[in-house]
Structure 1
Amino acid sequence: MTSGMRDLTIDELDSVSGGTVHTEVRKTTLIDVNGKGILAIGTVSIDGGPALPSAEWIPLK
């Protein structure tokens, strides 16, 4: 029995994303900060461009 799910084609992705599909590559290190949250630091590259610094704070609830 199949679930009825399938991969989207590039044309379908284009139509739901406003016509542009971007590729994002991240390399991230996760650091636990005293159980209060996680600091994610690393780099992000979009559409094969240069790797730029990236940081995100993820609070723990």
Structure 2
Amino acid sequence: MAGLAPPAAMSERGLRFPIVVVTAHGDVALAVSAMMAGACDFIEKPYTRQASLAPPRAR
């Protein structure tokens, strides 16, 4: 699986885990797609250590 397929597949199966999508080439459309696929957060590279350790946003 690649891209947004894993969070979408997990969501379809009723599995609820916090998924953070990390990408080097993101835009608003991709961030929205990631959230709709079940991601709880979206981080664009390069990112700070603080961003990677911050708790995912509450849904």
Q: TM-score, length-normalised on structure 2?
A: 0.23
User: Which structure has more strand as a fraction of its residues?
Assistant: 1
Larger radius of gyration: 1
User: Which structure has more helix as a fraction of its residues?
Assistant: 2
Q: Which has the higher contact order (CA 8 A, sep 6+)?
A: 2
